[in-house]
Structure 1
Amino acid sequence: MPKAKSKHDPEFSGRLKQLREQRSMNVAKFAKLIKVSPAAIWHWENKGTVPRNGTVDAIAEVLGVSRSYLQTGKQSNGEAHNGETRYGEIRGRVRSAGTELSLEELVRAIEAKGFEVFIKTRG
């Protein structure tokens, strides 16, 4: 059976790289989180190839954005997403199942599951 032709989208590549870098994730860490090789990420970010649908879902979850934003650059409600956090500079870290996440990454992962998260300071 011939291999399916890869879809190319340079805008997807740019969004992916920008989001990964905004979250201070190197390629190796990101690859481990979404269970692919670092070479696959290199191809997505540098050659414009687009991963399979299931992998796009995993990427969106890890990066804390919607699949729609990852693919089109717009949220499902049509508004652009600037990739910046609503939570300010959160520096706390959470260790779960051997993976260390910043509080921002954890909140984004929770929101990707459809929950709404509010953070309140004491005092």
Structure 2
Amino acid sequence: MTLAALADQLGVTTASVWLWENRNRVPIASTIRRVAQIFDVNPTALMEPRTEAAAPEKAPPPDLQDLIRAIEAKGFRVQITPRRKQG
């Protein structure tokens, strides 16, 4: 559904919906209930903080074997060789 379509159904401006979506404004309770009806969700689900995917800096580092499998799945060949001593 587009911002304009949702705004039309709610009787508000597209700018209002954009502001809600980008967390610059919060709709009034009756509007939250109406949005919940439109999308057939519980209104409290719309009021709970959004859970974002774990930030890369918080995610555990990938396992070397997983990385190799992912690279090889793309059609590349992986060969690991020991480092040469510098000196």
Aligned to 1:53: 29
Q: TM-score, normalised by structure 1?
A: 0.37
Instruction: Find the counterpart in structure 2 of residue 64 from structure 1.
Output: 40
Helix, strand or coil: the match of 1:65? coil
* 1:29 equivalenced with 2:5 (yes/no): yes
For 2:29 and 2:44, the matched residues in 1 are separated by 12
Moved over 6 A (4+): none
Q: Which amino acid aligns with 2:27?
A: P
Taking the aligned partners of 1:36 and 1:66, their CA distance within structure 2 comes to 21
Q: Distance in 2 between matches of 1:47 and 1:57?
A: 17
**Higher strand residue share:** 1
Aligned identity (percent) is: 31
* Greater C-alpha radius of gyration: 2
Instruction: After TM superposition, give the deviation of residue 35 of structure 1 in Å.
Output: 1.3
Do the aligned partners of 1:34 and 1:62 also contact (CA within 8 Å) in 2?
A: no
Q: How many residues align?
A: 49
Q: State the structure with bigger RCO (CA 8 A, min sep 6), 1 or 2.
A: 1
Under a length normalisation based on structure 2, what TM-score does the superposition of the two structures give? 0.51
Structure 2 gap ranges (5+):
50-87
Tell me how large the CA RMSD over aligned residues is.
Answer: 1.4
The within-5 A match list for 1:1-123 is: 25-72=1-48
Looking at structure 2, the residues matched to 46 and 38 of structure 1 have their Cα atoms a distance apart, in angstroms, of 12
Q: CA offsets per residue over residues 17-41 of structure 1, 9 Å max, x none?
A: xxxxxxxx01111111111110100
